[in-house]
Amino acid sequence: MRAVRRLGLVSACVLAVLAPVAALGQDGSTGGTRVTVDGSTVTITVTIDLMYGGLGTEEVPAGAQEAADGLAAEIENYWNQGFQRNASPCLELQLDVVMSVLPNSFPPLSFVDLGDDREPAIATEPGHHVVFYAEGDAYGNVPPPETYDPYDDDGVAPPGEDYGSPFEHDLYAFWSPHLEDARDFAHEFGHLLGLGDDYDANGALSGRDGTLMADGDLVDGNLVSRLTELARGANDDVPTCETWEVTGELQTDQTLPGGDTCGQTGTAQGTIVVAGGGEISGTLDVVEHEQCSFGFDRTRDGLALALEGTASSSALTVRHTSGTTAGYFPIAFLTPAGAYDPIVLSITAPGVAKGSVTRNLPNDYTITVTLEARCVTCGDGVG
């Protein structure tokens, strides 16, 4: 019902009605969805001309623009809250919606001649998507919301197919009272961001239950990752980065010269960021507990380790660079000579990396460290 469609029979009928009064326009090819980059902030600006009333309407009533501004703000807030939840130190998306109410007449409407005997597209001016709000016909039939992509002639776009046309061309859409609240408008607006529905032709959700482009309201890491790739396709200045959540465990065992034993367990959690060049930075917060047979027993928290390293398609390699030296956890990152000794986390599945190392040091001192990382901005259903 809310699919992105290539130009098909429904829109062809609409065009047939409008054709006698349409003027040929020019393909601006700038797109109504645009991407700008300022440091780590990537702003996606979507400009919409909302056509008021039935065909031939000459004036926009008082208050219509204020209502459209309110709707634009609701859509912005809906997506921006999701972007903020999924932001990383090297990349945050931001949505800016510009919505203008225009009379549904010629002008401002025109046709864009696509040539090659293809049906024309409906447009206003370059850089503006066009949205018609359809209340329904005389029989009370309300049309389903649809977004049309006349610049690709391969038929109806399958649900789940993201597409770059909104960044390259001015598309047009039909909205209707089927859109009842901010969530519904945010979902339909997602098609003007280039996102397809997250269900198949039979309505199956394919594991995307509860997310905005499926049956729910969550803007999750998967959607942010996909939209980031679409934005990068439109502007290659968009930073490339990944955010990984890291957890770790430490186990040490030592037999002292007099026969006493000491053991330590530790846990760690934190975040690392992989920048576009593969450089890793991040921190781990550590809690460690130590017990010795001669009665020594202590727990220490507030230990913070700074990490750096490099990433490849097969592994994340991290090492401890600085941080709290009190407690014994940091020694697990060191060789007996004191040089920094990295730990390799092999990527075992998309968005999952694991690594473990055991070191046998002098004086019967054995240390085992296990780290696991999960990418929260890599898509593939991981986020």
Judge if 224 and 246 occupy the same domain.
Answer: no
Judge if 272 and 124 occupy the same domain.
Answer: no
Q: Tell whether 383 is covered by a domain.
A: no
Residue 21 identity (one-letter amino acid): V
Q: Tell whether 161 is covered by a domain.
A: yes
Judge if 181 and 116 occupy the same domain.
Answer: yes
Between CA 339 and CA 319 the distance in angstroms is: 10
Judge if 22 and 166 occupy the same domain.
Answer: yes
**pLDDT value at residue 158:** 62
**pLDDT per position in the chain (383 positions), as tens?**
445 665 443 333 333 333 332 333 333 347 999 999 998 899 999 999 999 888 889 999 999 999 999 999 999 999 999 999 988 777 899 999 999 999 999 999 999 888 888 888 999 999 999 999 887 776 778 788 999 988 876 645 567 789 999 999 999 999 999 999 999 999 999 999 999 999 877 778 778 899 999 999 999 988 998 999 999 999 999 988 888 999 999 888 889 888 899 988 989 999 999 987 788 999 888 888 889 999 999 998 877 888 889 999 899 999 877 644 433 444 444 433 344 467 899 999 989 999 998 877 777 888 888 999 999 877 543 33
Judge if 18 and 56 occupy the same domain.
Answer: yes
**pLDDT value at residue 19:** 31
Report pTM: 0.69
Judge if 132 and 263 occupy the same domain.
Answer: no
**pLDDT value at residue 225:** 86
Q: How many CB atoms lie within 10 A of CB 122?
A: 23
Q: Tell whether 382 is covered by a domain.
A: no
Between CA 188 and CA 180 the distance in angstroms is: 11
Residue ranges making up the domain that contains 159: 4-234
Boundary (domain end) residue, out of 204, 234, 264:
234
Q: What is the CATH number of the domain that holds 246?
A: 2.40.160
Number of domains in the chain: 2
Judge if 226 and 187 occupy the same domain.
Answer: yes
Q: Tell whether 133 is covered by a domain.
A: yes
Boundary (domain end) residue, out of 202, 234, 266:
234
Between CA 166 and CA 33 the distance in angstroms is: 5
Judge if 256 and 351 occupy the same domain.
Answer: yes
Between CA 339 and CA 355 the distance in angstroms is: 20
Pairing of strands 41-52, 129-133: parallel
